[in-house]
Each structure stands twice: as C-alpha cells, then as structure tokens.
Structure 1
Amino acid sequence: MKLAHNPLLAELLPAWRARAMLIVMMVLFGGLFVRAFWLQAIDNEFYQRKGEERFSKVLPTPASRGRVLDRNEQVLAMSTQVSAIVAEARPSRTEAKARANPRDIGAEKLSAAQIRQLADLLDMDHREVARKIPEQRGRGYLKRQVAPDVAERILALKLPGIRAEPEYRRYYPHGEVSAHVVGFTGMDDKGLEGIELAMNRPLTGQEGSRRVITDARRNVVEDVETLKPPRDGGDVRLSIDTRLQFLAHSRLKQAVAEHKARAGSAVVLDSRTGEVLALANWPTYNPNNRAQLSGPPLRNRAFTDTYEPGSTIKPFVAAMALDAGRYSFETPVDCTGKLHFGRYAIGDAHPHGVLSVAEVIQKSSNVGVAKIAAQFTPAEMWRVYDQVGFGSPLKLGFPGEAAGRLRNPAGWKPVEQATMSYGHGMSVTLMQMARAYIVFARDGDLIPLSLTRVDTPPINGLQVFSAQTAREVRRMLELAAGPGGTAPKAQIPGYRVAGKTGTAHKLEGGTYANKYIASFVGFAPVSDPRYIVAVMIDEPSNGMHYGGQVAAPVFSDIMNATLRTTGVAPDAAMPPLQMARVSVPVKGVP
C-alpha cells in the first residue's frame, strides 16, 4: 500500500513534511560521516593524544651504578641488569570498559593456579605471593633483582597486572677477598658499607623516565617516548692492588686459623703516597650473598676495632726524646729492677741492666721507655701522640671509623704517663698505627692516607720529627726486627726490614683479662722504605700470644710477597747457599 494513497497518513503527514524530514536526516547522517572521516583520517592527533594520556604511564628508567676498580683497573664491583617483578591492582570495571577490548573485563584477578605458577618461578611460597598482590589500588614488588631469564618466563605467562621493571644488581667478582674494602649496596642500589657508602655520590647515576602505553591488564604494550635519558654513575679507581689484597687476605686467614684466634686484621700502605694497597679482616663475608650480610663478619676491624697498642708505641717516645736533644741513639738508660708508683709497679718480662736508647727499643723494655717518658711533661708526650694521629679519626669516610682513646694530658697521673709510654691506657685502630709509622718510613713527616689511586705523590707532609730523628729510629727498628730483637721472625731473605712488636692484655669490664692482642708494624726495604705492613691478631689461643711469635711471621710473608710482586729490588745480601750433607751413600760418589 502506498503512503500517498492512505487517507489517514495523508492527513497526518503532508508530503512536503515527509520530504523535509528525509532531507534533514540525510544532512545529519552526512555530517556525522564527514566528521568521523575527518577525525579518524585527517585530524586524529588530538583524540589519540587524549586516549594515550588516559592509558599511558610514566615509568622510571634506572641508571647503572659506576664500577669500583682497583689501581690496575681490575673490576671490584659492577652492576648487572636484572628485573623487579611488580604486581599492580587490577583496574576497576569502569576502567576496563574504557579499554579497547571489553573481553578483558572480569579477567583481571589472578586465579589460584596462576598464583602458584608465578610463585614457582619466583621460588616463593604461593601464600606470600598472594599477600603481596594489591587488592584495590597501587602496586607492590613481588620480588626484586630477579634474573633476566626468570623474568622472561614470567612475562611469557601474560598474567594480568604482572610486569617486570628493569633494575640493577651489584656483583662483586672477588667476593670475600675485598669485601671490607668495597662494601656492598642495598636493594635500592645505595651504598651501605665500605667504598660503596664512602663514595656513594660519585658512583650513583641519575635515573631517567619513559612514557608507555598499557592495556586493560596494565601490561606495557608500547614504549612511546623517552622523556629523560638515564645518566650512569661514574667509575671509582681505588688505591687497592688486587694481587696484594689476595695475598694479605690469604695469609691473615691462615694465621687466625693457625693460632685459633678470634679475629685479625692486616694493612699494606705505600709510604711514598699514603695509598692503602691492601686491607684485610678475618672473619669476612661474601657481599654477593645477601642472606649473610649481618653480624660480626661485617665489621671492618682495621677501622672500627680499637685496642691497646702495647710496645708498638715505644718508637714514638724514643723519637720524642731524640728530637728534643735530651737523648741520643747510644744514651744509657738504667733498666734494672722495677719502677714503683705507690701500689703500682712497672717491670719487664725479662730483666735488663743498663741499655742504650736503641737497645730499649730493640729489647722492648717497659722500664727503659717509662724512664725516658718521665723526662717529658704529659702535654709534650700528648702532643707527639696527637700529631701522628692517635685519638682522632682518619676521616676516610668508612662507616664506624673509630677515633681511639687519648685522654687530655691535664688529667694524666705519673703512672698513667708511664703506662702510656708502652701503649697501655690508650687505644688505637690498626689503620691509625699503620699510618703513624709513615713518619719513620719517610723523613719524619706524616702524609694523609688515600683509598683512591694517587698519581702525584705528596712532596711533604706534616713534619712531626726531624729527618735525622726518623733515620735514627729507623735503625732502632731494624735492630728490633733482627736476631737480637723481639721479632727475628719478621726477617725477609734479601731485604732489610724494620718494625716493632706489640703484645697487650685485653680490657674486659674495666679490668685486664687473660686474653691478648698480638701485633706487629714494620716497613721495608730499610735502605729506601717503600711499604708499611701492620698486622693484628685478636686473642690467639694456641699457647703463643707474643707479637714476635704470632704477628711478625704474618708481616714477613705479606711484606715478602708485596716486595717481590711489585718488583722492589733486594737491599741485603742473600745468605750463601750450602750443599746439604749427604747421609746416604750415592753410587759412584766416594
């Protein structure tokens, strides 16, 4: 039936009106078509940008931490790229509806099977993984520093809300050998111990940022642009020589085990530059094993542990006496009997008669050095100790660095001054003592220590003693390390060595216990001193506790290896080789 022939429609809807409505509808649909074509094909940037803004994110781009190198550019610490596995709260239904694929709605929550699958790959308990997944909003780390191959397997599962963020993990190629030098970083890649902490600022890079597009499951589907490129941290080149570090570590470990000691430390310095060439402590730790980064093994004992230095302090009293002109190398000192201070008495382990100042050091006489110290005021003696660095931290930036104990001289009693002349009633760190001996290895001047490589050695340091005094004390210390001294076991074939032993009771609860610190500090070659080696063994318990028995042999081995490894020429005649006596008849030999 035709509309024009329907009387009712003809009355209600005139023909001209129907044609007008048809024209209007055609214009409207045509306009919509043109607008859609314009927006999608010609001017689509605005709405694309709006869509991207709604579903884009700005993510950080981590920067690599700088490397820690030894003096010969051997790598001590480096960063390797790993991943952090992150879980994000699932989007709301409104957000999901706004996404391109409506089938994603309702599929954002991980199933129990998916959580177990994820937990297996992360080597975690599935309940712990479930707890770490945010319920409402936000994000949370499931596990940090995941190996790249594991992260790839997780991403291949295409789990909703689970993604991998790039980050770095610190790796220490030499493990426990250089642990107390290099230290370690935390999970956030910031230094927590050692050089990693002391030089955190130059090692730390600046992270960048990037804009990405995410899908309904909040997985990254496209990298849009780099907003700010990351800037990697700078490398740090240390003074440490890895060869010497390994030698010191190995010999110290052996000594602690041999003497059934509680702990030990060893330090190697270059007396010309002040560089720390080796620094070893035992026990130590492996910085690559984060599960063990706690407890006593973390203590950098050479910097943090103080002890009474014992007789290693005596050369400074002798130098004070020589420098003041009140004593000479050969001035006699009556070391007979004991010195009495009220109810206190000071004596020697082995009685002596009259000794020269040189012999007081060679034989390590407490009576002799106390008598020399008594000729000076407490302030004069304190000034010498202060000038060589006792009682003040070295300020090298290591955490927990101790200052030691050196009391104000105004409160010294005569007996206290006497005991401090042979290293009791005060405390030092091994690094302080090693540095102080620089004045004897040089011409009486003291230079600062450095943990970074020094290419231009300091010409002069703080002049503590005259060059002549330093040379005279050097001769005394050579006698002390010789056959007639307290440390013949410090000798090295082919080299002249000098040094001093130390044996001190340990203080526990304000009283001296039947426990000892055995130490030795020395340098070589005497003709042109190059290296200083200091050794401290804490609580040797196998029947020997004297510095000459316990620490001197360790010094000898470390110094010998140091001299030969670095090619220092011998300065002493080698003993002639002798053929062993043949006790068993050899055929053809009369």
Structure 2
Amino acid sequence: MDAKGARGSARSGTPNRVPAQRKPAARSASRTTTRPTPRSTTRPAAQRSARAAGRPASQQRGGRRPPPPPARRPKLGHPQRRARAMFIGVCFVLSLFAVQLLRLQALDASAMAEQALGSRLTTVPVSAARGEIVDRSGVVLATSLERYNVTVDQTTVQLYKKYERDPVTGKKHEVTLGIAGAAAALAPVLGMDVATVEAKLTGTRRFAYITKGVTPEVWRKVDALGVTGIYPERTTQRSYPADGVGASVVGFVGKDNTPLAGLELKLNKLLTGTPGSQTYERDPQGRHIPTGDIAQKAAVPGSTVQLTLDRDLQWKAEQALAAKVKETGALSGTVVVMSVDGRILALANAPTFDPNVPAQSKPANLSNRALSEVYEPGSTSKVMTAAAALEEGVVTPSTPFEVPGEIHRAGKVFHDSHAHAVEALTFAGVLAKSSNVGTIMAGEKLAPTTMYSYLNKFGIGQPSGLAFPGESRGILAQPQDWSGSQRYTVLFGQGLSVNAVQAAGVYQTIANDGVRVQPELVAGTVDANGTLKPAAAPKQTRVVSAKTAATLRRMLEGVVSKDGTAPEAKIAGYRVAGKTGTAQRFDPTCGCYRGYTGSFIGMAPADDPQLVVAVTLQRPVRGYFGGTVAAPVFKDVMTYALQKMQIPPTGSKSPTIRLTPKDR
C-alpha cells in the first residue's frame, strides 16, 4: 500500500497490520513484561466520544490514549558505596563521643569533679568551747569539757553490713544486719536499751540524735563499730570543778549550754565563742572516709572571765555560814566579803546547790539571795543615821542623851529591844548599845529630805551596779511619801529594804573614808596569752567626809567592846569596828511580820580598814540577836580572810569610847 493509502487507512480508523518480521517475539515478550497492558480499544463508540470530548485536541488525535511512560528500573546498591556510607556514619557517631569526652575531661573537668565531690561531701558544725570562769588567782570555777552528740542518718543505717567468718569453710562473707543489728551493737556502748536505740534509728530522716554529751572515749568505741550512717557532732559540756563553790555567783547552764542563772547568764556574750565547721567525704554507705577531710574552720572559744572572788575565801564563808544556818534553824543566810575598794571577795549563800546537777536542788536555792532577797536591815542601818547626823553637825560622839525605854512619835510608841529606865548615854553610847529611842532622838534633828539624801548616796534604793540577774534594788520611798511613823522608822532601819550587798556597801563607804565605790565581781577578761584586760573602773561617790568616816569607825569599835552588843566579834590582835542588827522580818507568805533578821557587819583593822564582812541570817529560831547568831560567823570568816590576804595587825590600841557622859 502506498503512502496515500496508508494515511487514508489511518484516518478511516482501520488498524494497520504490522508484518511479523518487524515485531520479534523476544522484544515483544520483553515489552510485555515491562509495560502495563494497554486498555482495551473495543469500548463503545459513544463512550469513546464522551471521553474524547473532555480531552485536549492534542490528545484526541488518532482517537486513542498515548501509551504511559516506561517504569524506572530499581537499581541494585553498589557494595563499595554501602561500605563508605556505613563508615561515614560510624565516624560521625564516634566523633560525637569524642567531642563529649573532650568537653568532660578538658573543658568541664573541674566542674564535673566538683559536682562528683559534692555528692560525697558532708559538712558538720563544730561547736565553740564556752569561755572559762576563774577566780582572782586563776583557779577554775567553770570550764567546758569535750563531748560528742551521736547522730544518725536513718536512710543509710539500714545498710549496715558486717563481715563474718563461716564456721565450716572459714571464709568471710558479708551479712546485712540492718537497723536491728545496728541497735544491738550500739546499745551497750551507749548505755541504752536496744529498743530505745532501734526506735531512734528507724525512720526516713537524714539527721537525728541518738544521744547527746557522750565522752570522747565512748565516741571512739561507737566509731570503732563501723555502723553505717552514724556520725559525731562535737560539742562541750559545762563543768564546775570547784564542787559547787561559788555556785550562786557563777550560776549554771542547761543541757545545750544555754545560760540559766548567775554570771553564766550575765556574761553570756563574753563566754560564748564562734562556732566552726568540718567538711569531709563519705563513702556510698555514708561512712566517714578517714583520709577524706577537705576543709576545717576552727571554732573560736569564748573569753575567759576572771572574777574578784577568792575561791578559798568563798569556800570558808560558805562552810561557816552553812554550819550556823543549821545550828540556828534559820531559813537562809548570806555572807559578803568586800575589800575596802569595792571588790567582792566572797558572796556566800546557804542553802546553796551543785551547779553540775542543779535539777537536784530546790528552785528557791538556785538564786543568789545576797542580791535578790531584800529585807529590813534594822540596827545595821543606824550607821547611816549616825553618819548623816555627824556630817551635818547636829551631834558629836560625846553629845549626851537622856534615853527612855520608849518614846511616842506620830501617834506610835517606839521602844528599845530591852525594857529599861531612862539611861544617860552619849551619842557613841547610843550607837554602841543600839538604842532605837536614842537614834530617833538624834535623827529627828535632820529634815526628812536631808536624811533621804544621805540614804540615797549610800546606795539604798539604787541598783548596785553589778547588773546581776535577779538582783533587787531594794525599797526606799520618796520623803514626801513617808508616813508619819516612817519618818522615824527609817532612822533605825525599818520602813526601808536592802539586799546584803547594799548593806555591806554602807560599811565599805565608812571604811573607805566616806567614798562609796560601786561593787565589783568581774576583774576583767583574759586573752589567749594570759594577759588580763581589766574591767572598767567602778563609779565612786563621796558620801561623807574622811573626818566623819574616821569618827564613825572609832564609835563602831565600841560595839565590839565588853559594853557593846557584839563582844563575840572581837578578833585577837586586830581592832574591829562593826554593828549588830536585829529586825523584825517581813514574811511575804502571810504579808505580816514573823520572825527576825539577825545580822552583823564589820571591818578590820578598824584604824586602817582593808576588809568588810557582812553576815545575815533570816528567821533563825535558836537565838536571833545579831550579836549572838551573826557575830560569831563574822569573827570566823574575818579571821580567815585577814590571814588569807596576809593583812597584819596595825599594832595600835583601840581608843577609849565614852558611852556615858560620866566616862572619862
């Protein structure tokens, strides 16, 4: 067929035949397997025409769909390419590890090391030793002993293990003992029962106390057990090695070294040191690694405080006082020993207590009565009336008085301790015989405001300056508030109240030529080199002239003469001046007067005073006059003090004291 005929056949839709030789079987088979089977061309004409109408003109040519594109054959992976890809991937992963290792070991090495170390470190506080309290010679009255609190980490103690030897094989093997085993090991060493220890070990707390205040020896035994999670907390325990001497002055502390009384409380800031700390490593079981100490901040102990007290003299005063309190059946008693310049050398109380075990004493005995307890001084207060009258010039030692047994003033009747007829006495005799009536007759020559001024300058109703815990300032009302009778009672020691230190301070003023020195208990602080840093100088107040003080001392020597009220206060070889006191005692339990206060306060040597001793007994029942219950204690304590302080006799003789106008 020619070309024209062929084209005509194509247009007419008649398919052309292809010669067999132009379609080889092999190629046809190949194509058959790689191409999808063409859709059937035997569709109805109407259907073909509808589909053709929706196709572009280029696709409608020839009246059938063009054959689809041949499918792409899948390519098989090349072995070398696959090996290269795997090698690159492995190198990439290894490079990531290398970079991370470089960061950890080179760039972040110190930070990571610190983080790892921090997980093993623990820091515990180290308590500072409390400063010592020593007497004037350095004898220790209070100190701190090394102690340990035993603590537990309850989360790790259950891991407690121990190696035991098999009785058959002889080999060691690990046995977990846990809390029960730890309690059984610790209890006998700590002196506790197993159940109590086990209860303290059980829980989830990282820190808890098992017991407190064990000795270093006990802690070493605990540490040797190797119980997991058991740690020491170093602390101190207050100790008073002087067997309670000066307890009412020194005071005491609680179980946690909390000051509760006395100078321990007053001087707490000085005595308290600065705590330190200790940082060390622990193993995974929480045990202290012996060689793992990292840092230690040393604790700074508190200051050592030196007192003015003399330990031996304090002991003597306490012994003499306790014996007399027992002998007379008194409720209590005090002794104050003071140097002429105001330093307190002894401050004794009876009954007292043991500061090592204060809980075993009655609460009433834990205070310092010499400062906290006030009382009406009675006749020992007459020395202030005498000093004021002499200083104001209204009387002299030889001024005569006709003294009756009683006197009426302000609607009240005042009388002497003993009934007597009218006596002719000098003012020195009035003082020597402790006449209330004669003292009123001399003292009423002074205006109430004048008398109040002298009482005030002597320190009555004023703080002593010691700032001692629980101290009372006493009672002294303003003169405008005095009642009619009080105008006269203050002249012989009633209607006002003092403590024992204030009463002793009156006589220190007379002994010190009329200058009152604020009393001292603290001499200063001692540094690490043993150097004393003195306390600030005490305040001084001129009360009367040196002439008046000297005159009054000579008058007070008549009190210890055979004609006075306290011959039992005499000391062989020494001149002694002093005054007795016997006052009705106000009892706060009933709000009434019940019993007496017996006292004696004196100085020696009278012509060159060095020491003052004040003795007071509250409500003695076997005798109550100051000259019989207090004067003997004065003699005992003063004699010892003169010898202890190595004060020799002056060698001079006591002057003749005119007690009556007839005396020459």
TM-score tier after normalising by the smaller chain length: 0.7 to 0.9
Q: CA deviation at 1:330?
A: 0.7
Change (3 A) 1:313 1:52: same
Change (3 A) 1:478 1:13: farther
| Residue aligning to 1:580 | none
| Residue aligning to 1:333 | 401
Give 2:299's match in structure 1, choosing from 230, 250, 258: 230
| Residue aligning to 2:243 | 175
| Residue aligning to 2:113 | 48
Change (3 A) 1:318 1:119: same
| Residue aligning to 2:169 | none
Answer yes or no: is the 8 Å Cα contact 1:83–1:145 preserved in 2.
Answer: yes
Give 2:151's match in structure 1, choosing from 69, 81, 86: 86
Q: CA deviation at 1:206?
A: 0.8
Identity across aligned pairs (percent)? 36
- Separation in structure 2 between the aligned mates of residue 558 and residue 347 of structure 1, nearest angstrom: 33
| Residue aligning to 2:414 | 346
Give the residue type in structure 1 aligned to 2:597: I
- Please list, as runs of the form range in 1=range in 2, the aligned pairs for 1:129-528 lying within 5 A after superposition: 129-133=197-201, 135-221=203-289, 223-226=292-295, 228-271=297-340, 273-289=341-357, 291-292=359-360, 295-341=363-409, 344-350=412-418, 351=420, 353-453=423-523, 461-508=540-587, 509-513=590-594, 515-528=595-608
- Separation in structure 2 between the aligned mates of residue 275 and residue 62 of structure 1, nearest angstrom: 34
Answer yes or no: is the 8 Å Cα contact 1:90–1:217 preserved in 2.
Answer: no
Give 1:559's match in structure 2, choosing from 612, 615, 638: 638
- Separation in structure 2 between the aligned mates of residue 294 and residue 121 of structure 1, nearest angstrom: 33
Q: CA deviation at 1:208?
A: 1.8
Q: Which stretch of structure 1 is more off in the superposition, 299-308 or 214-223?
A: 214-223
Q: CA deviation at 1:48?
A: 1.9
Q: Which SS does the other structure have where 1:177 is aligned?
A: coil
- Separation in structure 1 between the aligned mates of residue 149 and residue 201 of structure 2, nearest angstrom: 14
Change (3 A) 1:545 1:92: closer
TM-score normalized by structure 1? 0.86
Answer yes or no: is the 8 Å Cα contact 1:133–1:139 preserved in 2.
Answer: no
C-alpha distance after superposition, 1:414-458 (max 9, x if no partner): 311222211112211101111121121011111111112387997
Answer yes or no: is the 8 Å Cα contact 1:115–1:129 preserved in 2.
Answer: yes
- Separation in structure 1 between the aligned mates of residue 222 and residue 538 of structure 2, nearest angstrom: 60
Q: CA deviation at 1:19?
A: 5.9
Answer yes or no: is the 8 Å Cα contact 1:477–1:498 preserved in 2.
Answer: yes
Change (3 A) 1:113 1:262: farther
Q: Which stretch of structure 1 is more off in the superposition, 546-555 or 280-289?
A: 280-289
- Separation in structure 1 between the aligned mates of residue 178 and residue 458 of structure 2, nearest angstrom: 66
Q: Which SS does the other structure have where 1:244 is aligned?
A: helix
Give the residue type in structure 2 aligned to 1:554: V
Structure 2, gaps ≥5 residues long? 1-74, 161-174, 525-533, 655-664
Change (3 A) 1:243 1:457: farther
- Separation in structure 1 between the aligned mates of residue 604 and residue 417 of structure 2, nearest angstrom: 28
- Separation in structure 1 between the aligned mates of residue 276 and residue 181 of structure 2, nearest angstrom: 36
Give the residue type in structure 2 aligned to 1:54: S
Answer yes or no: is the 8 Å Cα contact 1:445–1:460 preserved in 2.
Answer: no
- Separation in structure 2 between the aligned mates of residue 358 and residue 322 of structure 1, nearest angstrom: 11
Q: Which SS does the other structure have where 1:111 is aligned?
A: helix
- Separation in structure 2 between the aligned mates of residue 112 and residue 457 of structure 1, nearest angstrom: 60
- Is 2:202 the partner of 1:123? no
Q: Which SS does the other structure have where 1:173 is aligned?
A: coil
Q: CA deviation at 1:184?
A: 1.9
Answer yes or no: is the 8 Å Cα contact 2:252–2:264 preserved in 1.
Answer: yes
Rg (Cα) greater in structure: 2
Change (3 A) 1:433 1:111: same
Q: CA deviation at 1:210?
A: 3.0
C-alpha distance after superposition, 1:445-480 (max 9, x if no partner): 111111123879979931111111111111111111
Change (3 A) 1:33 1:294: farther
C-alpha distance after superposition, 1:338-361 (max 9, x if no partner): 112466311112225121111111
Q: Which SS does the other structure have where 1:414 is aligned?
A: coil
Give the residue type in structure 2 aligned to 1:550: V
- Separation in structure 2 between the aligned mates of residue 418 and residue 134 of structure 1, nearest angstrom: 74
Q: Supply the RMSD in Å over aligned alpha carbons.
A: 3.1
- Please list, as runs of the form range in 1=range in 2, the aligned pairs for 1:549-588 lying within 5 A after superposition: 549-572=628-651
Change (3 A) 1:459 1:478: farther
Q: Which stretch of structure 1 is more off in the superposition, 81-90 or 401-410?
A: 81-90
How many residue pairs get aligned? The number is 552
Q: Which SS does the other structure have where 2:259 is aligned?
A: coil
- Separation in structure 2 between the aligned mates of residue 435 and residue 174 of structure 1, nearest angstrom: 27
| Residue aligning to 2:616 | 536
- Separation in structure 1 between the aligned mates of residue 453 and residue 78 of structure 2, nearest angstrom: 118
Structure 1, gaps ≥5 residues long? 1-9, 97-105, 576-590
| Residue aligning to 2:27 | none
Answer yes or no: is the 8 Å Cα contact 1:183–1:287 preserved in 2.
Answer: yes
Answer yes or no: is the 8 Å Cα contact 2:157–2:227 preserved in 1.
Answer: no
Q: Which stretch of structure 1 is more off in the superposition, 329-338 or 450-459?
A: 450-459
- Separation in structure 1 between the aligned mates of residue 362 and residue 280 of structure 2, nearest angstrom: 39
C-alpha distance after superposition, 1:469-527 (max 9, x if no partner): 111111111111222111111111110111111112221222211x2221111110011
C-alpha distance after superposition, 1:519-569 (max 9, x if no partner): 11111001110000011112222x211111011000001000000111111
Answer yes or no: is the 8 Å Cα contact 1:489–1:549 preserved in 2.
Answer: yes
- Separation in structure 1 between the aligned mates of residue 643 and residue 542 of structure 2, nearest angstrom: 31
- Separation in structure 2 between the aligned mates of residue 217 and residue 383 of structure 1, nearest angstrom: 76
Q: Which SS does the other structure have where 2:459 is aligned?
A: coil
- Separation in structure 2 between the aligned mates of residue 426 and residue 305 of structure 1, nearest angstrom: 13
Give 1:59's match in structure 2, choosing from 97, 121, 124: 124
Give the residue type in structure 1 aligned to 2:596: Y
Q: CA deviation at 1:67?
A: 1.6
Q: Which SS does the other structure have where 1:521 is aligned?
A: strand
Q: CA deviation at 1:86?
A: 1.6
- Separation in structure 1 between the aligned mates of residue 358 and residue 440 of structure 2, nearest angstrom: 50
Answer yes or no: is the 8 Å Cα contact 2:509–2:543 preserved in 1.
Answer: yes
C-alpha distance after superposition, 1:191-249 (max 9, x if no partner): 32222222111221111223222334444336543364322212111111112112111
Give the residue type in structure 2 aligned to 1:265: T
- Separation in structure 2 between the aligned mates of residue 219 and residue 344 of structure 1, nearest angstrom: 83
Give the residue type in structure 2 aligned to 1:75: V
